[in-house]
């Protein structure tokens, strides 16, 4: 083939790749219609909360949308269903992609990707090496050549002729929302690794919309386990890293992995000890370990120990926390409306009392002013009540629809009536009792509360982490294993208590208590 023919061939291939990347045909072949869900999320929720919402509503809503995008990822790429998501996070060029390559024994991901072209990438086991992506138009892109993803990341359109560059390349990663890679070399069949773009601050030279801290945080918070990467050459874990990690969900267990360990081999033990001490002093919770790794000689450091940790995670039955994470927005809004109603009700009671006193003293003008204020507070309470009821209706409608979609695609979701059983935390028993009384309009018995205060006031929950989260599951799993219950028989957040697995668990625990 002549040089001209070779150039023409590359041009045709680039054109076909560009055409696929920019396709606007939403040929997603969804098993379930998401129209109703997207209408609730994109229209009904914002309309209901347009005039009155919690001060942190925007952040809650964006987290809610991110959780939905992850849910949609599971539908678009059904190989994620039944997988435990392990997310890789850290700063720019902290060694995440090279770690995945060392872990899997091949170049599963292109390294040294510029942050402006970085794309969140899921890596799962598959019989064949296949690469797919979703572009910014929600169209699925199937790559015929597995090297195309590297071409997109490193420089699309770069051409050479007779050893001379005749065309400069350009990065096109920004037209992709996410990438899905299946490879037979992925060692853990029940794990989906999520390689996230390195985060950076707006003032950083590496900053882009894709590396924004908020976007990185939302991606990491969808995982069941986080591997956080730190360059050992710095000798410390930075305050930026610590601040970022502390904003992640505490219930998600985390491993801190020091990369480029070989370059600080002599001081490595001291650096690792300092990192552990810093994390403890700064109050960073749920750190399961600090490990060292170097891509040039991975087996010389802690990669075998990390593999053992991941192998244990690979044996766990995946239980996505979609329902719990979706519930946060509704719970926070409903609590906000209840609190505002209580404040308004307290003011209304005081105004009524003042109005009665003044009316008896002939202060008609003052009474008239107070009555107008009373009417304003009554209208405010009525408006808060209506909005709170609307939020509850949207919660029921949303979970009914997400349950329907989940049944179609094979993602287990609770019934709308069972959503209230899901709790974000295992709080103080007295707090739970007060919540129950408030929600069910039960007038508390002060004598009984005094007795409970003495009995339960200093009682700490056995599981202080968020119920259903990774730390909670790990702790509970260890306890259940002591009763010789197989991990695959354990279902966390399982509101379907009629299942065989649940009944077997109950029988096993009952027998253990009797010493059988």
pLDDT tens-digit series, residues 284-323? 888 988 998 888 887 778 888 898 889 888 887 776 778 8
Alpha carbon distance 443, 437 (integer Å): 7
Q: How confident is the model at residue 114 (pLDDT cuts 50, 70, 90)?
A: very low
What's the confidence (pLDDT) of residue 496? 40
Burial of 467 from C-beta contacts in 10 A (0-12 / 13-18 / 19+): buried
Position 254 scores a pLDDT of 93
Q: Which helix (H) or strand (E) holds 165?
A: strand 164-167
pLDDT of residue 193: 92
d(CA 433, CA 439): 10
Q: Which two tokens stand for residue 445?
A: 């018995």
Strand 254-259's sheet: what is its strand order?
140-142, 130-135, 176-183, 121-125, 191-195, 84-90, 225-231, 254-259, 287-292
At 229-268, the pLDDT tens digits run 998 888 889 898 999 999 888 878 999 999 888 888 888 8
More confident position, 77 or 105: 77
φ/ψ of residue 405, rounded to 5: -65, -45
Taking only the tens place, the pLDDT of each residue in 441-471 is 666 666 665 656 555 555 555 544 444 445 5
Query: Could you give the 3-state DSSP secondary structure of residue 411?
Result: coil
CA distances to 90, 192, 214, 217, 243 from 210, rounded to whole Å, are 14, 21, 10, 11, 19
DSSP string computed for 220-256: HTT-SEEEEEEEGGGSS--HHHHHHHHHS-TTS-EEE
- Residue 444 neighbours by CB under 8 Å, 6+ apart: 434, 437
Residue 292 β-bridge partners: 258
pTM > 0.75:
no
Q: Which of 242, 269, 257 is nearest to 306 (CA)?
A: 257
User: Greater confidence, 446 or 1?
Assistant: 446
371 vs 20: which has the higher pLDDT = 371
Residues 6+ apart with CB under 8 A from 290: 255, 256, 257, 258, 272, 275, 276, 279
| H-type alpha helices, 93-201 | 96-104, 148-154
For the record, the structure tokens of 116 come out as: 């402006």
List pLDDT tens digits, range 363-416: 677 777 777 888 888 888 888 899 999 999 999 999 999 999 988 888 888 777
Phi-psi region of 465 (alpha: psi -120 to 50; beta: other; left: phi over 0): beta
Averaged over 183-187, what is the pLDDT?
Answer: 84
CA–CA separation, 482 vs 490, rounded Å? 13
Residue 84 to residues 291, 321, 469, Cα–Cα distance (Å): 21, 11, 12
Strand 176-183 vs strand 287-292: parallel, antiparallel, or unpaired? unpaired
Confidence of residue 112 (pLDDT cuts 50, 70, 90): very low
pLDDT at 229: 92
Mean pLDDT (the chain, rounded): 75
């Amino acid at each position: 083939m002549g040089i001209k023919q070779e150039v023409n061939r590359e041009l045709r291939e680039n054109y076909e790749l560009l055409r696929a990347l920019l396709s606007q045909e939403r040929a997603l072949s969804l098993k379930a219609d998401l129209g109703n869900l997207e209408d609730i999320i994109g229209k009904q929720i914002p309309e209901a909360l347009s005039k009155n919402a919690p001060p942190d509503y925007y952040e809650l809503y964006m987290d809610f949308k991110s959780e939905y995008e992850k849910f949609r990822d599971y539908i678009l790429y059904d190989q994620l269903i039944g997988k435990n998501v392990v997310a890789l996070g850290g700063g720019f060029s902290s060694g995440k992609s090279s770690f995945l390559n060392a872990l899997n024994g091949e170049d599963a991901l292109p390294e040294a990707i510029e942050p402006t072209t970085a794309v969140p990438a899921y890596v799962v086991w598959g019989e064949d090496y296949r690469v797919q992506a979703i572009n910014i138009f929600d169209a699925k892109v199937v790559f015929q050549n597995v090297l195309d993803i590297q071409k997109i990341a490193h420089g699309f359109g770069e051409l050479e002729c007779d050893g001379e560059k005749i065309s400069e390349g350009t990065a096109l990663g920004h037209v992709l929302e996410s990438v899905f890679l299946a490879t037979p070399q992925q060692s853990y069949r029940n794990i989906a690794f999520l390689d996230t773009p390195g985060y950076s601050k707006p003032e950083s030279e590496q900053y882009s919309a894709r590396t924004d801290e908020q976007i990185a945080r939302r991606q990491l918070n969808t995982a069941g386990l986080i591997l956080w990467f730190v360059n050992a050459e710095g000798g410390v874990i930075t305050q930026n890293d610590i601040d970022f990690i502390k904003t992640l969900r505490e219930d998600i267990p985390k491993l801190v992995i020091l990369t480029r360990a070989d370059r600080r081999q002599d001081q490595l033990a001291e650096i690792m000890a300092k990192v552990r001490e810093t994390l403890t002093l700064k109050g960073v919770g749920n750190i399961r370990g600090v490990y060292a790794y170097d891509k040039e000689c991975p087996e010389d450091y802690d990669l075998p120990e990390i593999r053992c940790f991941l192998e244990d995670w690979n044996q766990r039955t995946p239980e996505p926390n979609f329902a719990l994470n979706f519930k946060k927005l509704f719970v926070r809004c409903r609590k906000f409306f209840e609190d505002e109603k209580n404040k308004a009700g307290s003011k209304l009671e005081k105004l009524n009392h003042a109005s009665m006193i003044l009316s008896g003293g002939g202060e008609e003008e003052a009474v008239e002013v107070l009555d107008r204020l009373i009417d304003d507070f009554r209208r405010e309470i009525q408006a808060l009540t209506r909005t709170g009821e609307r939020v509850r209706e949207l919660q029921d409608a949303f979970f009914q629809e997400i349950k329907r979609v989940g049944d179609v695609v094979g993602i287990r979701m609770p019934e709308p009536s069972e959503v209230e059983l899901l709790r974000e935390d295992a709080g103080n028993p007295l707090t739970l009792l007060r919540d129950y009384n408030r929600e069910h309009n039960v007038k508390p018995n002060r004598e009984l509360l005094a007795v409970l205060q003495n009995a339960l006031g200093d009682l700490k929950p056995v599981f202080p982490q968020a119920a259903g989260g990774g730390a909670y599951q790990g702790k509970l799993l260890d306890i259940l294993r002591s009763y010789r219950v197989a991990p695959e028989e354990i279902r966390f957040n399982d509101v379907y208590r009629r299942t065989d697995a649940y009944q077997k668990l109950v029988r096993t625990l009952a027998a253990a208590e009797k010493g059988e």
